[in-house]
Amino acid sequence: MLNPQLSADGRLKHLITLDGLPRGVLTEILDIAAPFTEVAAREVKKVPLLRGKSVFNVFFENSTRTRTTFEIAAKRLSADVINLNVATSSTNKGETLLDTVDNLCAMGADMFVMRHASSGAPYLLAQHLRNTGRDHISVVNAGDGRHAHPTQGLLDMYTIRHYKQDFTRLTVAVVGDVLHSRVARSEIAALTTLGVPEVRVIGPKTLLPSDVERMGVRVFHDMNEGLRGVDVIMMLRLQNERMQGALLPSSQEYFKFYGLTEEKLALATKDAIVLHPGPMNRGVEIDSAVADGDHAVILPQVTFGIAVRMAVMSMLAAGN
Ligand code: CP
């Protein structure tokens, strides 16, 4: 079946999830992102690829990195960027998501970048646009519930490729709260599609999905075992806002068993890199000595995120 994110001729129309996106499309996004990293070094940090287009950032959940880097990326592509302030918008007066969207379409939206607490909200939006004859408007999922955070997955892949080059020679560990993490789902989908031979997930049973093996990963509950010999460590934030009931004894206990310290990092390869999508809980999932240490590539992830989002938006503009 044709991937609904792709047009009949294989061009990207929406970016909702990395699940099912072919390796060629993922690689194309990373390749297109590479020259965009150089735009930041120019005196005039702009290219005209989205000139005349209006990009609406519609974030129903908090964000620092994603919202801001989407805005920078759209501006560097010369788009007009409109940030809907959801906290002061008419959604608080009972307006539905789709009525809000219809009104933004009436203002001339060409692209929506949406974050929502409900899994599936960006998919619903894309479907609504298709059903109402506005399929030329693209939707980018900036994180929906526990489901997906595709541009985070892509910028993580860009970061790994930048430091490690060849995905097919790597052992990668994803550590922590996989159960509630949309980032983990997007990362695992991309890593397996790009040919990483061994993807490990490390975490307590209460924070791993019961069918996690079906994602094509090796499961470890002992972090010391799971980190042995890995090339890439992808730490996850404890998603306290999505936890129901007591899944952990305490954050101190969690740090003792699953917090990344210099001692645990020493079990990985000597040139291992450490990623974290942010925001970080220092002293809960990661020790400051590691977060600020030589192996961490956490701030480069953020910088690469601009180029990756430029690549995605320019491909969507070309595909619609
Ligand atoms: N990684 C990430 O999604 O960060 P923000 O919540 O700050 O956007």
Q: What is the mean pLDDT of the chain?
A: 95
DSSP letter, residue 46:
-
- Predicted confidence (pLDDT) at residue 2 exceeds the cutoff of 60: no
Q: Does residue 154 sit in the same domain as residue 293?
A: yes
From CA 185, how far away is CA 176, in angstroms rounded?
12
Q: Does residue 264 sit in the same domain as residue 251?
A: yes
Residue 31 domain-assigned? yes
Q: Does residue 46 sit in the same domain as residue 127?
A: yes
Does residue 197 have a cis bond before it (omega within 30 degrees)? no
Q: Does residue 141 sit in the same domain as residue 230?
A: no
Residue 281 domain-assigned? yes
Q: Does residue 79 sit in the same domain as residue 53?
A: yes
Which of helix, strand or coil describes residue 278? coil
Contact (Cβ atoms closer than 8 angstroms) between residue 76 and residue 308: no
Alpha carbon 195 to its chain centroid, in Å, reads: 19
Residue whose entry in the numeric block shows the structure tokens 């030329």: 136
How big is the chain, counted in residues?
A: 320
- Predicted confidence (pLDDT) at residue 1 exceeds the cutoff of 50: no
Distance (angstroms) between ligand 1 centre and the Cα of 240 equals: 15
Residue 161 domain-assigned? yes
Residue 99 domain-assigned? yes
What pLDDT, in 10s, does the model give residues 250-289? Answer: 888 999 999 999 999 999 999 999 999 999 999 999 999 9
Position 93 scores a pLDDT of 87
- Predicted confidence (pLDDT) at residue 8 exceeds the cutoff of 80: yes
Domain that holds residue 194: 150-297
CA proximity to 247, closest of 175, 173, 148, 177: 177
CA dihedral for 297, 145, 116, 74, sign (positive or negative): positive
Kind of pairing, strands 198-202 and 218-220? parallel
CATH of the domain at 314: 3.40.50.1370
Contact (Cβ atoms closer than 8 angstroms) between residue 43 and residue 308: no
Q: 55 or 92: which carries more pLDDT confidence?
A: 55
Residue 12 domain-assigned? no
What pLDDT, in 10s, does the model give residues 152-175? Answer: 999 999 999 999 999 999 999 999
Confidence class for position 245, pLDDT limits 50, 70, 90: low
Q: Does residue 158 sit in the same domain as residue 34?
A: no
Residue with CA nearest ligand 1 atom 5: 63
> How many domains does the chain fold into?
2
What pLDDT, in 10s, does the model give residues 202-216? Answer: 999 999 999 999 999
- Ligand 1 first shell, C-beta below 6 A: 63-66, 143, 149, 152, 277-279
Distance (angstroms) between ligand 1 centre and the Cα of 181 equals: 12
Position 101 scores a pLDDT of 95
- Residues 6 or more apart whose CB falls under 8 angstroms from that of 33 comprise 154, 158, 304, 307, 308, 310, 311
